[in-house]
Structure 1
């Protein structure tokens, strides 16, 4: 009876249609089925998953989760750095050694902001992932982070320290950009938000490791010279060191392999990790057909092609994709989050919390809260959808920042301790909301919305934009906080309101669609509207198909 049910399910799936048709500029239909060299497969990803879903706890998926978990360690680098610098900036031994003022000035700002400068420079080389592959770029990035860490940890003066941080951030960008690109391309569409989205949640793991190490070192080594801040600097190379040792044992991105005419290897990877080793599963045929469709009629990229940025703007579709990539890159760094992440101890000073240990403990708590909520958010993005999650979280962040500003104003203007407490509460609530909506998607959504041939260069653009926003935040932040105080939060209230409106009118839903199915969405006259309609259609078909399967089981 079970075999009869499976046969009926497969028959149902073969009759399901979600239109892959879209209109090109000449009014001709674009068909994803028109691919030479592979049998036509009329099913869509959502339709196949409704009736012939691979076991997400099968051996192939378990291997994929373990592989992804190791790649997640790349994400700890940025989180470790942001919280490390925030925490050691509160240590008297550190500020005294380098002659930095306690409350921050331009010198403090450049120590933080040099990370964004290195990030922007590193972003210029992300295109190299199209030349020698995603895993090699991750390897070289992690190796460079280890070298940069050695320089910073051995620094004897501020210029040497800043130079080490530049190298560290340059190579961290190589790894931190190639890693989510790799995960987006190797993850199954149904779980892409969860698997790839969980990558950036390890930003908070890095934060927890950094703040905990600084707290422990300050607690036990504060009277041992500069050990309380140098030891945490050395620990910055642990996670990239592990990745450096194992990454070349991992498979390459199947889309990179397809682009380099290694079709059978790509098929083996899809078979192993997406269908638990079943080469005859319809998902293998569908995804191979779609990936081959993206390179049909194109030649292998040359050095000239690798350096050619016209692919980012050559069509209306690519320009729309680039707009979303740049917009979310900026929003992810310029929504009030970096100010809190880097300058939480300074903000705590402003509302009357001056004890160093208390500030370090609150920094740890802030990171733990961020991790818990970001992990939940990664799963919710595959359940609720990107648009709803981002819109809801932006609204929540706007409200929180308004209340943080009100609480800070109450403390500064009226010395109201209750207002100060309220401000702290909503700082932490802001962090939880941001972690839920934004943290999982920060490197993932910019990679999802671009085409396969754009992705490496677009991820470089993503890092350039994020670096520019981060530089503006971290360099201007301490000056603005000391000059205009709580009015700086008020500015972000209005800015986040603008972000929410922009997302509503332009952001495309990517949940549950393969990267190649999204190509069709972006060819529509209004991609945002087309994506919402496609998701509504998918929900109806999946609901109907589940009802049909239940009826078939009852009949059988």
Structure 2
């Protein structure tokens, strides 16, 4: 269960908001600044993932890389993407990519959960959305590093970008032991005093009697107790045991698949192949466009991250899918036009529509896929459901990385038609199934999936916390007790 807006509702119309000190801001509170520094260390995981995903795209535009590995094509190229710098042959390169992917898969499962659970309440939505958004920061570093080293006329042109990929992970390895542990994990292990100290230190300048800290602490304990009492009912089968959970998992697996299979996989991993189909074969120009696209993506993804509460999840998802369908269709038409009668104008139009396609992709499928998944899952199933989310993405990536290069090689632009049809299906699915969670607590979201009885049970449990901080307010207002 996430800290912050995910807290149980109180009797106040403003929920827990009235418990927050309005003078405590991230920029004027030393401990919040420290907490956000630790969160930056955690979201570096997403940047590292973005670097990894973009690196292969950039390397494929380098003649030195293609010559060293004998210009891999089709299934071999897909294997290289699916699986660093000291490699002496293609087998070592595949092995290094495999180990890197194995480590990243573990880190990307745990980092966003910890970001969600230690964030200060009023900043949790932004941090949760920014986590996946910062994939593009790694994308930018990889793209522009490769653009700079492409001028080196030897194997260091691709070895340097590969070496730089490991630097953020080195910092994480040595500093991760200093990052605060999740209060929920501590309470689940019986370390309640340590959990209270963690909440108090970062959320209330060390005051463990602060109303917000007491509210969070009691709410977490109540949720953990409820989880332990129903432990027999929250195994892996519980993900699909009820109608509400089945709908949750359908949505989660769908948006995970959509995030990798909306046509973006062609650009993320095989942009150079797309360039080849429209006659842009100069490696320097390819790398320059890739670098500019990375900056464009980061801008739109960060912008959308701060509009989640203002515009709502459903609006962003539908706008994103509709825009992607429009501009991917136009990209397909211009690619076909170029194939029939090559012209610079058609090639330039394809590039323009790729940029517009990504602007709409970044409205929802960068910031929302992680935050929406965590929002709609109840506490007892959140970790398991998030693992299913990441597994689905991995399967979609593997499918993309093997099928895309083969299809592009054999049928070129005609392969885009498949994605046009799929994007139309995505829009219809999202219109039918996406539920708006704007401004709702997790308990209210549960009512949307499980009915009022489930929500009432969780709200009744959370009243323990409400009574606790009401008692605290009464004591604080009594001069005699203060003395």
Q: TM-score range by the shorter chain?
A: 0.7 to 0.9
Deviations 1:297-347 (A, max 9, x none): 554999x999x4223233333323222221111111111112111111111
Return closer, same or farther for 1:331/1:340 CA change in 2, 3 Å cut-off.
same
Q: 2:15 aligns with which of 47, 58, 61?
A: 47
- Per the alignment, in what secondary structure is the counterpart of residue 378 of structure 2? coil
- Distance in 1, matches of 2:333 and 2:189, equals 56
Gaps in structure 1 of 5+ consecutive residues: 1-19, 21-31, 34-40, 115-151, 531-556
Deviations 1:264-287 (A, max 9, x none): 333333444445655555433443
- Per the alignment, in what secondary structure is the counterpart of residue 424 of structure 1? helix
Match of 1:96 in 2: 67
- Distance in 2, matches of 1:107 and 1:65, equals 42
What is the deviation of 1:436?
A: 2.8
Match of 2:405 in 1: 478
Match of 2:57 in 1: 86
- Distance in 1, matches of 2:435 and 2:37, equals 30
Report the TM-score when normalising by structure 2.
0.85
Contact 1:182/1:253 (CA < 8 Å) preserved in 2?
Answer: yes
- Distance in 1, matches of 2:130 and 2:305, equals 5
- Distance in 2, matches of 1:516 and 1:259, equals 20
Gaps in structure 2 of 5+ consecutive residues: 1-6, 456-483
Contact 2:19/2:212 (CA < 8 Å) preserved in 1?
Answer: no
- Distance in 1, matches of 2:423 and 2:204, equals 41
Match of 1:341 in 2: 268
Report the TM-score when normalising by structure 1.
0.74
Deviations 1:89-116 (A, max 9, x none): 1111111111124xx32211211123xx
Return closer, same or farther for 1:212/1:154 CA change in 2, 3 Å cut-off.
same
Contact 1:188/1:274 (CA < 8 Å) preserved in 2?
Answer: yes
Alignment of 1:521-540 (within 5 A): 521-524=448-451
Q: 1:201 aligns with which of 130, 133, 145?
A: 133
- Per the alignment, in what secondary structure is the counterpart of residue 332 of structure 1? helix
What is the deviation of 1:526?
A: 13
- Distance in 2, matches of 1:503 and 1:189, equals 29
Contact 1:189/1:512 (CA < 8 Å) preserved in 2?
Answer: no
Contact 1:260/1:300 (CA < 8 Å) preserved in 2?
Answer: no
What is the deviation of 1:426?
A: 0.8
Match of 1:242 in 2: 171
- Per the alignment, in what secondary structure is the counterpart of residue 454 of structure 1? helix
- Per the alignment, in what secondary structure is the counterpart of residue 367 of structure 2? helix
Return closer, same or farther for 1:500/1:63 CA change in 2, 3 Å cut-off.
farther
Contact 1:183/1:195 (CA < 8 Å) preserved in 2?
Answer: yes
Q: 2:111 aligns with which of 179, 189, 194?
A: 179
Contact 1:393/1:437 (CA < 8 Å) preserved in 2?
Answer: yes
- Distance in 2, matches of 1:319 and 1:254, equals 29
What is the deviation of 1:402?
A: 0.8
Contact 1:74/1:179 (CA < 8 Å) preserved in 2?
Answer: yes
Q: 1:230 aligns with which of 144, 147, 159?
A: 159
Q: 2:47 aligns with which of 76, 91, 110?
A: 76
What is the deviation of 1:415?
A: 1.6
- Distance in 2, matches of 1:83 and 1:356, equals 15
Match of 2:347 in 1: 420
Match of 1:251 in 2: 180
Return closer, same or farther for 1:270/1:63 CA change in 2, 3 Å cut-off.
same
Q: 1:113 aligns with which of 77, 82, 92?
A: 82
What is the deviation of 1:180?
A: 0.9
Contact 1:324/1:449 (CA < 8 Å) preserved in 2?
Answer: no
Match of 2:435 in 1: 508
Match of 1:211 in 2: 143
Contact 1:71/1:179 (CA < 8 Å) preserved in 2?
Answer: yes
- Distance in 2, matches of 1:349 and 1:176, equals 33
- Per the alignment, in what secondary structure is the counterpart of residue 453 of structure 1? helix
Match of 1:490 in 2: 417
- Per the alignment, in what secondary structure is the counterpart of residue 442 of structure 1? helix
- Per the alignment, in what secondary structure is the counterpart of residue 99 of structure 1? coil
Contact 1:193/1:511 (CA < 8 Å) preserved in 2?
Answer: no
Return closer, same or farther for 1:510/1:292 CA change in 2, 3 Å cut-off.
farther
- Distance in 2, matches of 1:516 and 1:526, equals 11
Return closer, same or farther for 1:262/1:385 CA change in 2, 3 Å cut-off.
farther
- Per the alignment, in what secondary structure is the counterpart of residue 353 of structure 1? coil
Contact 2:118/2:180 (CA < 8 Å) preserved in 1?
Answer: no
Return closer, same or farther for 1:70/1:407 CA change in 2, 3 Å cut-off.
same
